[in-house]
Amino acid sequence: MGLFYQHYINETTRLGVWRIEEPEEFFLQKVLLHNEVSHPYKRLQHLAGRYLLPTLFNDFPLKEILIADTRKPFLVDELYHFSVAHCGNFAAAIVSKKNRVGVDIEFVTPRIQRISSKFLNDTEHIFLEEWQHLTQLYLQLVTVVWSSKEAIFKWYGNGEVNFKNHIELSGEVVFHADEWIELPFVFRKSEGVAVTVFARLFQGLVLAWVIT
């Protein structure tokens, strides 16, 4: 119950994952519930994600969060940059005092592989093909790429992104000894921007984040 994983990325940026096992009342002690979140399970995810933010930085001003037209939450004065994601009974958040950030969390399921044609371009298909004989690893890597693109989408924050054409894996994927996977991408919504994503596999779960 509670904080499932925490990572201090650097002096100004922190990342956390919460395993949701508490009732709404637990989160409502610190988090205001917005009326537009009506589904009970979505509401619980929403509350847990917001609850994480001051868990990472205790002076995070929860009450000052606004929602942009693109549905991206933000702070007017950008005291903190932040991103929140949900998946099943997990919520993830990344907060930075200085840099734009994005985070995503996904379960490793065959569904991701079934929709892969919607987000993998030809180059990425070729890269992943060499792992197809290792069924579970292949599925994990497809999920890592999907989650990485989701993190970049949230980092961008302005919507209208084509995952297949605007976000492209652009180099060698590095598997670090500390279990983090480093993935170089190019974001091509306007000018090409190099973006590095870090991802990590837990049991049946992928966490991905980006900071620039």
Minimum mean pLDDT among 47-51, 69-73, 83-87: which range? Answer: 69-73
Neighbours of 63 (CB within 10 A): 6
> 83 with 91: CB under 8 angstroms?
no
Cα dihedral: 65, 187, 172, 151 (round 10): 20
Under the banding of pLDDT at 50, 70 and 90, the label for residue 132 is confident
- State how far the Cα of 1 lies from the Cα of 152, in Å rounded to an integer: 29
Q: DSSP letter at 87?
A: E
| Domain residue spans of the chain | 2-99, 106-211
> 169 with 127: CB under 8 angstroms?
yes
- State how far the Cα of 106 lies from the Cα of 101, in Å rounded to an integer: 17
Q: DSSP letter at 189?
A: S
Under the banding of pLDDT at 50, 70 and 90, the label for residue 1 is low
The tens digit of pLDDT for each residue in 191-200 reads: 889 999 999 9
Token readout for 98 is 């200085």
Q: What CA–CA distances, in Å, run from 146 to 90, 160, 188, 189? A: 17, 16, 16, 17
The tens digit of pLDDT for each residue in 50-78 reads: 999 999 999 999 988 888 877 888 898 88
Neighbours of 26 (CB within 10 A): 17
* Residue 56: predicted pLDDT: 96
3-state secondary structure of 76: coil
Q: Which residue has the tokens 């980006």?
A: 210
- State how far the Cα of 122 lies from the Cα of 102, in Å rounded to an integer: 25
The tens digit of pLDDT for each residue in 16-25 reads: 999 999 998 8
Token readout for 103 is 């985070």
Under the banding of pLDDT at 50, 70 and 90, the label for residue 91 is very high
> 53 with 3: CB under 8 angstroms?
no
Closest CA to 197 of 207, 205, 189: 207
Q: Does the pLDDT of residue 35 top 70, yes or no?
A: no
Does the predicted TM-score (pTM) go above 0.85? yes
Give the list of residues 6+ apart from residue 49 with CB closer than 8 angstroms, or none: 18, 84, 85, 86, 91, 92, 93
* Residue 141: predicted pLDDT: 93
Which is more confidently placed, 202 or 41? 202
In the CATH hierarchy, which top-level class contains the domain 2-99?
A: alpha beta
